[in-house]
Amino acid sequence: MKLHTVTTAAAAALVLSLTAVGCGSDDGDDTSSASVVGTGSGDEKITIGIKFDQPGIGLKTPDGKYTGFDVDVATYVAKQLGHEPGDIVWKEAKSADRETLLQRGDVDFIAASYSITPEREKKVDFAGPYLLAHQDVLIRADDDTIKKPEDLNNKKLCSVTGSTSAQNVKDKIAPKAQLQEYGGYSECLTGLENKVIDALTTDDSILAGYAAQPEFEGKFKLGGFKLSNENYGIGVEKGSELKAQINTALQKMVKDGSWDAAVEKNFGPADYKNEPAPKIGVVVN
C-alpha cells in the first residue's frame, strides 16, 4: 500500500485552542447554519454533519436519537472543542451534499463515512483519517461458495442505485457478476437474507454496521476481500483552523482508548476485522 501525507499545520504539537469558526443560529434546528465553536461553557451550539441512514456509522433512530461510530467520533471531538453532547446540532450530510454544506457554512464539520480523495481535497480540508475502511462484500453466514473476489462471477451482486461499488467489481474483478439494482442497502439485505441475491458490496465498515444490527446478528458475514482503501476523514471548510484542532482531538481519542471502545461498540457484533487506528495525516492509497 502507498502512503501520502495530508498537511496538518503541525497538528500533533497544537493544543486545543477554542477559536470561533463561523456564525449562525443556535436554536437547535436541524436546518440552522453552523454556529460558533464553544468556549467550554456549554451555551453555544456546534453543527455537525453525519449520515442519518447508515446503521453502525451514522443513524437517526425512530425515537430521534443518533447512533454509530461516526456519531461517537464526532461527539468526542466536539467535547474536546468545548461542547457537551447537548450542544450538538446534528445535520444530515448526504454524500452528494457534503462539500456544499461545508462551503456554505451550514455545518462546522462533517463525519459521514467521508473518504479522503484528491478531488475532494480541492474543495474542502480533511482532518484525520480516523478510520481505514475497505470495499468488501457481505454474504450469508452459511455461504461457502464465495471465498475470494473471483467467486462473485455468475453471482447476483446487489447494486444500490447511484453507487459505483458493484460496477467496479464487475469491471475489474468479476465480469460475469450479475448486478441487481436496489433502492437502498436495507433492500439489499432483505434480498440477501431471502436468497434473492448472493452478495452486497460497499465499504466494510458500512456492511459491518448493518450486520451488527440485532435483527441481522449472526445472519451475515464479511468476505474480508479488501477491494479498495477508504480513508475516512472529518471534513472542514477549506483553510479552517478546526482541522488542526480536530486532529489533536482524534490523537487523544486513540491514545485514551475511546477509539477502540467505539469500534467495538458499533462493529463488534459483526466480527469486523478493523484496521488499527490510522496515523493522523497519512492516507493509504
Residue spans of the domains in the chain: they are 3-133+232-284, 135-222
Q: How far apart are CA 234 and CA 241, in angstroms?
A: 13
Check if the beta carbon of residue 9 is closer than 8 Å to that of residue 243: yes
Q: What is the pLDDT of residue 34?
A: 46
Q: What is the pLDDT of residue 42?
A: 47
What is 3-133+232-284's CATH number, 3.40.190.10, 3.20.20.70, 3.30.1330.40, 2.60.40.10? Answer: 3.40.190.10
pTM, two decimal places: 0.80
- Omega of the bond prior to 55 within 30 degrees of 0, cis? no
What is 135-222's CATH number, 3.40.50.1820, 3.40.190.10, 2.60.40.2140, 3.30.980.20? Answer: 3.40.190.10
- Domain 3-133+232-284 identical in fold to domain 135-222: yes
pLDDT along the chain (285 residues), means of 10: 46 37 36 41 82 94 97 98 97 94 98 94 98 96 96 94 83 94 88 96 93 90 93 97 98 98 91 91 94
Sequence-distant (6+) residues with CB within 8 A of 137 are 146, 149, 152, 157, 169, 199, 200, 201, 207, 222, 223, 225
C-alpha cell at 14: 497544537
Q: What is the pLDDT of residue 43?
A: 55
Q: How far apart are CA 246 and CA 170, in angstroms?
A: 38
Q: How far apart are CA 1 and CA 229, in angstroms?
A: 9
